[in-house]
Amino acid sequence: MKILGLDPGLTATGYGLIFDHKKVLFGTIRPREKDYLKKIYFICQHIKSIIRKYKPEIVSLEKAFFQKNVVSLIKISELRGAIIYILLQDGIPLVEYTPAQIKLATTGNGRASKRQVRFIMEKTIIKNKTRISHHAIDALAIAYTALRKFK
């Protein structure tokens, strides 16, 4: 089974792909454009290329959560909408999880810190000393959550 996890963000969108319960591929999409609509386009083009190349069976996406800055929440929601549109176009099943669900699935504690999630992902999924962005770690945790639900 191939599961793609996405951690959407306008300055950096993390992605993590888990193949056959053991192999992983991950990275961070970092648009350089200033205009947020161009950022959304850039991110979506990269996600499309990842989907075309690796053909995930399921995509797991983090649900938007409350932010103090309403403008940021709206822009992130627009990015999520664009990503969901791409997935629907390609007929790829989508599952969504809240941050608490992701933390619970990865660490056993729905209130775990980002540091605890990183530790578990590095020990169980990455299994080497490669330093990766927290966006990619979050994306792998999102994919791992889906993997645990679909085992």
* pLDDT of the residue at 23: 86
pLDDT tens-place string over residues 20-72: 877 899 999 999 999 999 999 999 999 999 999 999 999 999 987 666 788 88
Domain boundaries, the chain: 2-150
| CA–CA separation, 73 and 103 (whole Å) | 21
Q: Name the class of domain 2-150.
A: alpha beta
| Helical segments of the chain, H only | 36-54, 70-90, 99-107, 114-121, 134-150
Whole-number pLDDT of residue 10? 94
Percent share of the chain, pLDDT over 90: 80
Q: What is the reported pLDDT for 77?
A: 92
Q: Give the span between the Cα atoms of 111 and 21, in whole angstroms.
A: 25
d(CA 107, CA 116): 7
Query: How many Cβ atoms from other residues are within 10 Å of residue 69's Cβ?
Result: 9
